[in-house]
Structure 1
Amino acid sequence: MMAETFLELLYEDAPPAAYDELCDRLRERLGDAAAEQHALALQVRERVARHRGREAELSALYDTAGDLTAIRDLDTILGAIVRRARQLLHADMTYLSLNDEAEGASYMKVTDGALTPEFRELRLPLGTGLLGLVAQAGAPYFTEDYQVDERFVHREYIDSAVAGERIRAILGVPLVVDGHVIGALLAVHRTVRPFPPGEVTLLTSFAAHAAVALENARLFEQARAAVDAADEANALLRSRSEQVEGAARAHDRLTDVLLHGGGVAEIAEVLAGVLGGQVTVYDEAQRLLAGEPEDVPGLDAAVEQALRSGRSVELAPGTYVAVAAAGEGHLGTLLVRTGPLEQGERRTLERGAIVTALVLLFARTEAEAEERVRGELLVDLLAGRELDRERLRERARRQGAEVEKPGVLAVARVAGADLHRAARMAGRLARERHGLAAAHEGHVVLLVPGDEALEVGEALRARVGAEPDRVTVGVVAVPGSDGVPAGHAEARRCVDTLLALGRDGEVSDPPHLGLARLLLGSSGREELDDFVDAVLGPVLAYDAGRGAELADTLAAWFSAGGSLRSAAAALHVHPNTVSQRLERVGSLLGAGWREPDRALDVQLALRLHCLRA
Structure 2
Amino acid sequence: MTTGREQRSGQSEPDEVVENVARVHQELEERREREGALNGLIDTVRELAEQQSRTDLERMLTRRVRLLLGLDAAFIGVQAADGSRVVRAPDGHVSTMLNMGMATPAGVGLGSWALQANAPAWTADYLADDRFEHDEVIDDVMLSEGLRGLIAVPLARDPASSTTLYAGARSARSFTPEEVSLASTLGQVAGALLRRSAALDEAEAARGELQRRLERAEARAREGLPPLLDRLLSSVLGGAELSALAAEIAERLAAAVCVRSADGRELARAGTPDRGWPDPEDVRRAAPWTRPTGGPVAVDRRTWAAPIRAGADDFGLLLAVFEEPGAADAAERVRAAATALSVTALLRVHGPISEAQIRDELLSQLLTESTATDPQAARRREQRARHLGIELAEPHVAVAAECGPGEPSASVLSWADAYARRRGGLRTVQGERLALLLPGGDPGAAAAEVAAELRRVCGRPVSAGGAGPASGIEQARRAHEEALRTLEALGALGREGAAACARDLGFFGALLSDRRGVGEFVDAELGPLLAYDRQHCTELAGTLEAYLATGGSPTHAARRLHVHPNTVSRRLERIGDLLGPDWQDPERAMELHLALRLTRLRELVSADTPG
Q: What band does the TM-score fall into relative to the shorter chain?
A: 0.3 to 0.5
TM-score w.r.t. the length of structure 2 is 0.36
TM-score w.r.t. the length of structure 1 is 0.36
Structure with larger RCO (C-alpha < 8 A, sep 6+): 2
Larger radius of gyration: 1
